[in-house]
Structure 1
Amino acid sequence: METGLQARADEISLYVSARKIYPQAVSGRFRSIKWALLLLTLGIYYALPFVRWDRGPNAPGQAVLIDLANQRAYFFAIEIWPQEVYYLTGLLVLAAMTLFLMNAVAGRLWCGYLCPQTVWSDLFLAVERRIEGDRRARMALDGAPWTIDKVARKAAKHAAWLLIAWWTGGAWVLYFADAPTLVRELAVGAAPLSAYAWIGILTFTTYTLAGHMREQVCLYMCPWPRIQAALTDKHALNVAYAFDRGEPRMSLKRAATARDEGLPAGDCVDCLQCVNVCPTGVDIRAGSQLGCIQCGLCIDACDTVMGKIGRRPGLIGYDTEANIGRRSKGLAPVLKIVRPRTILYAFVIALVGGVMVYALSTRAFTGLEVIHDRNPLFVRLSDGGVRNGYVVRILNKRTMPRSFSLQVEGIPGATVEAVGAASGADGLPTIEVGPDTTRELRVVVAAPAPGPAAAATPILFRVVERGTDDSAATSDFFRSPAGDANRGARHDND
């Protein structure tokens, strides 16, 4: 009995070693779209660090920059400060909702056309074809004994891959420093050690993932296929094989004979071109699968074959589960792009995007914080008046020095004095704040002898940039003696 079980266990393998996939070159509408998007996305990625943007004095001139040293992020005219981390939350929500919307409309569009893994794998595969040849030539080369020609081709391919991976890592670090300056420093060995380290890490990961792991990343490492399967519905467009038209499969001659005899014959001639061109090795005729990134290359391959044998294209195409069921019942197909889930995703995108745009367009470039002295809370003056002390912090978020006047509102006859600041022509303190910095100073507010007022009177501090209307305000309180509230005070006879 044990011998039989052991023999059975030996026949069953829990893990099947992955076979190497040799995607075949194909031309067509979807391949052209993928080439266009590849050139566009990689062109933006590699060139964007060198685009300049004039933000005025004391500001970096790089259009897109994540300045970790100064805790700033720049995207053309937009500047993000550390305290605005909520914009990152908004971007993550927008990215998630956009992925959900793309999935609800046409399945894994992101995976097939825009995912970095797909884009760089396509580029690496194009280099491989250029050096080693198309599918059959690469298979023959891998199966051939090692010769000088084989070594030369393999070495040239991996050298080209490493060069692309190196420039990919180099381009990434350029987003974190002034690109022309960092390029010069990298060339002469004067760049920070962290720059070389990150270039090395990203070179290794790009070379490994795009050159050696390719479809393994999509099948085993990426969580999106599992999430996408839970989000899709029967009205989402996905790459699908028309079973009602393609089955039963048979060769062209057998199909002609079967039709002459009045027997059913499908349009699929079982040429396997749809499998050969698939970058993940999926046979779409087996139905929707985890490995299908829905890039549409199998559509191009099948349409090419259908054209050669004189049959109409569309045996494989973007279709919905609902329409497949409708055609099996003899009903006309329908396309439902607008439905509750797409409306919900679009609404959330519009809402979050609108809130972010509004917040960016209305945010202030001046900040003000006030802290009341705790001990003493107030000081009695010799003339019967009361004085309160405060620590005022003014934030200048612009890249140029600015001059502010400080005033208080809420107490008639109150005067304000800022220690270390001159007085302007209007009698108000004039406070100079440097570019992109804060200034903290001591402020004293004095008021005439109080009447039967409350012990704490609300007041408003306001700073106004001289020459403009830019201002900031914050509220606090003015403490004065009321009734028997004499604790926490001292007398000042000066």
Structure 2
Amino acid sequence: MSSTDQTPDRLYTAREPIFPRRVSGKFRTIRWWLLAICLGIYYLLPWIRWDRGPNLPDQAVLIDLANRRFFFFWIEIWPHEFYFVAGLLIMAGLGLFLFTSALGRVWCGYFCPQTVWTDLFILTERWIEGDRNKRVKLWNAKWDFHKTRLRLTKWTLWLAISVATGGAWVFYFADAPTLLWNLFTLQAHPVAYSTILVLTLTTLILGGFMREQVCIYMCPWPRIQAAMMDEDTITIGYRDWRGEPRGKHRKAEGAEALGDCIDCFACVNVCPMGIDIRDGQQLACITCGLCIDACDEVMEKIGKPRGLIDYMALSDETRERAGAAPRSIWTHVFRVRTILYTALWSAVGVGLVVALFIRSEIDMTVSPIRNPIFVTLSDGSIRNSYEVRVRNMHGEARDFAISVTPDDIFKLEVEGAESGVFTVPPDATELKRVYVVAPPGTDPAEAQSTGLRLWLKDIAADEQAFTDTVFNGKSLR
């Protein structure tokens, strides 16, 4: 290439707009159902009410950042239980690896938010401007009143969808009815308005204008997923040994030598990524299955078998070229890699469920006070001080008592509490100063450090929790 050809205009081309044609079929129906379910869950979940008593928000799903808690129906996750969140993230990652190794980019084609919202925006565009041919004609037409009216109507609906998307997100972080009223009365926190604004703009730009560019250039997953796919992974492919050579099926000499593909470009015209699956596996393909529906529709019209474009594994190509039947889909799905992913995913899930059911409704953390490390009392006793944080995860106030073992040596006092008994409000934590005293001449008073155990008892439920710590004696000097 000469130096005159190496210009930005030569190296980079402008984006070609994609106008997918409407198609009907099995996979399009599946995508419609998943679109409705995903959007329904996202928009409606914050509005489900759940009675949590007088001291907690009556919202089924809530991320309460102010109090650092997460509510999911009957489950309440506290800050010290972040391992539940970590476990869910691990399960999400393993689940993504599992489905990718078994079924390719099924996440991208059916569940990814970019795919779902882009599908919704295309549906709105088709409803206002018409199907593919009309939208192409409108794109190429000069700006006049008709084109301006259609574009403004479409952009207005896109903006409404984007605002609803950003608004639904903030409802997960506060009581939804209260926040909605505050938003309309301009009493909400500025963070709420700024969050809605940012999410509105990103949804509008990514779903309305960038679309396939997000999947091709911005998302790292198309490049990562290749490491989890092999020749037995189910993905979308074109049976070129059956379809080639392409050509129109006319009653003419030599027509019998043509393959099943009539080169109608139906698979290309319905693709939201604008690719031709007949060119082989491509990074831009999200395996949404719309090209399968379009091709099957054409095959039925010309009297040819369905499946020219289909979900298949690369390992079946050799078998089919030789005239053998492809292996069962279950043979591809259940193999060593997918079984290993399933086992790991299940193990993490079972661990989380077990941890959820065996967790205690009370919790205590103990922090020894280091300044001073100990105090020598007038009678020669050695006293250590501790800050004890008691967490009451019940929906009502509870009385708690703190004790120490071995109690035949140590004496314990709770600052501001008679006999070591105090009350913790519902769904709250209480910080108490606790003093542990070792009488003069005892081993703990003379030794450098001695292990002890602080016990927390829920008097009403007769439930206990403990924390091990150390007692520092005089020889620490």
Q: Is the Cα–Cα contact under 8 Å of residues 236 and 289 in structure 2 kept in the other structure?
A: yes
Partner residue in 2 for 1:341: 337
Change (3 A) 1:280 1:457: closer
1:377 CA drift (Å): 3.2
Q: Is the Cα–Cα contact under 8 Å of residues 411 and 447 in structure 1 kept in the other structure?
A: no
- Residue correspondence of structure 1 range 421-440 to structure 2 within 5 A: 421-423=417-419, 429-440=420-431
SS for the counterpart of 1:171 is: helix
Distance 1:159 1:372 in 2: 61
Q: Which one of the candidate residues 262, 266, 282 is aligned to 2:259?
A: 266
Distance 2:38 2:203 in 1: 16
Q: Which one of the candidate residues 450, 461, 469 is aligned to 2:454?
A: 461
- 1:21-76 Cα offsets, whole Å, 9 max, x none, are 11000000000000000000000000001011222331121111111111112222
Q: Which one of the candidate residues 117, 121, 139 is aligned to 2:118?
A: 121
Partner residue in 2 for 1:417: 413
Q: Which one of the candidate residues 293, 316, 322 is aligned to 2:315?
A: 322
Distance 1:291 1:339 in 2: 27
Partner residue in 1 for 2:350: 354
Distance 2:413 2:114 in 1: 62
Change (3 A) 1:473 1:289: same
Distance 2:124 2:439 in 1: 83
- Residue correspondence of structure 1 range 299-310 to structure 2 within 5 A: 299-310=292-303
SS for the counterpart of 2:2 is: helix
1:84 CA drift (Å): 3.1
SS for the counterpart of 1:5 is: coil
Q: TM-score, normalised by structure 1?
A: 0.89
Distance 1:458 1:34 in 2: 61
* Of 161-170 and 446-455, the range deviating more from structure 2: 446-455
SS for the counterpart of 1:336 is: helix
SS for the counterpart of 1:461 is: strand
- Residue correspondence of structure 1 range 87-106 to structure 2 within 5 A: 87-106=84-103
1:359 CA drift (Å): 2.4
* AA in 1 matched with 2:270: V
Distance 2:349 2:169 in 1: 26
* AA in 1 matched with 2:390: L
Distance 1:276 1:376 in 2: 76
- 1:183-218 Cα offsets, whole Å, 9 max, x none, are 111111111111111111111111111111111111
SS for the counterpart of 1:79 is: strand
Q: Is the Cα–Cα contact under 8 Å of residues 389 and 442 in structure 1 kept in the other structure?
A: no
* Of 314-323 and 64-73, the range deviating more from structure 2: 64-73
Q: Which one of the candidate residues 281, 285, 296 is aligned to 1:288?
A: 281
Distance 1:169 1:115 in 2: 17
Pair 1:204-2:195 in alignment: no
Partner residue in 2 for 1:311: 304
Q: TM-score, normalised by structure 2?
A: 0.92
Q: Is the Cα–Cα contact under 8 Å of residues 463 and 472 in structure 1 kept in the other structure?
A: yes
- 1:445-464 Cα offsets, whole Å, 9 max, x none, are 45666567862543321110
Q: Is the Cα–Cα contact under 8 Å of residues 169 and 203 in structure 1 kept in the other structure?
A: yes
SS for the counterpart of 2:259 is: coil
Change (3 A) 1:11 1:434: closer
Q: Aligned-residue CA RMSD in angstroms?
A: 2.4
* AA in 1 matched with 2:341: Y
Pair 1:191-2:191 in alignment: no
SS for the counterpart of 2:364 is: strand
Distance 2:246 2:8 in 1: 31
Partner residue in 1 for 2:24: 27
* Of 463-472 and 453-462, the range deviating more from structure 2: 453-462
Partner residue in 1 for 2:245: 248
- 1:220-277 Cα offsets, whole Å, 9 max, x none, are 11111111123210001111111111111111115x7436xxx532111111000000
Q: Is the Cα–Cα contact under 8 Å of residues 392 and 424 in structure 2 kept in the other structure?
A: no
Percentage of identical aligned residues: 45
- Residue correspondence of structure 1 range 48-197 to structure 2 within 5 A: 48-197=45-194
1:7 CA drift (Å): 5.5
Q: Which one of the candidate residues 385, 391, 411 is aligned to 1:390?
A: 385
Q: Is the Cα–Cα contact under 8 Å of residues 398 and 460 in structure 2 kept in the other structure?
A: no
- 1:131-189 Cα offsets, whole Å, 9 max, x none, are 11000011112222333222211111111111111111111111111100011111111
Distance 1:170 1:195 in 2: 9
* AA in 1 matched with 2:398: R
Distance 1:304 1:332 in 2: 23
- 1:375-403 Cα offsets, whole Å, 9 max, x none, are 47364665xx8452322413224243221
Q: Is the Cα–Cα contact under 8 Å of residues 378 and 480 in structure 1 kept in the other structure?
A: no
- 1:284-324 Cα offsets, whole Å, 9 max, x none, are 11111111111000000011111111111111110110001
Select the structure of larger CA radius of gyration: 1
Q: Which one of the candidate residues 387, 399, 411 is aligned to 1:403?
A: 399
Q: Matched residue pairs, number?
A: 470
Q: Is the Cα–Cα contact under 8 Å of residues 381 and 439 in structure 2 kept in the other structure?
A: yes
- 1:405-430 Cα offsets, whole Å, 9 max, x none, are 1222214265433231123xxxxx21
* AA in 2 matched with 1:146: W
Distance 2:234 2:226 in 1: 13
Q: Is the Cα–Cα contact under 8 Å of residues 368 and 463 in structure 1 kept in the other structure?
A: no
Distance 2:227 2:160 in 1: 39
* AA in 2 matched with 1:54: D
1:89 CA drift (Å): 2.7
1:372 CA drift (Å): 5.8
- Residue correspondence of structure 1 range 36-51 to structure 2 within 5 A: 36-51=33-48
SS for the counterpart of 2:11 is: coil
Q: Is the Cα–Cα contact under 8 Å of residues 377 and 383 in structure 2 kept in the other structure?
A: no
Distance 1:380 1:143 in 2: 92
Change (3 A) 1:222 1:442: closer
- 1:436-478 Cα offsets, whole Å, 9 max, x none, are 3333333344566656786254332111011212222122345
Q: Is the Cα–Cα contact under 8 Å of residues 384 and 472 in structure 2 kept in the other structure?
A: no
Structure 1: where are the runs of 5+ without partners?
Answer: 424-428, 489-494
* AA in 2 matched with 1:177: A
Distance 1:146 1:444 in 2: 81
Change (3 A) 1:421 1:37: same
Q: Which one of the candidate residues 453, 472, 489 is aligned to 2:465?
A: 472
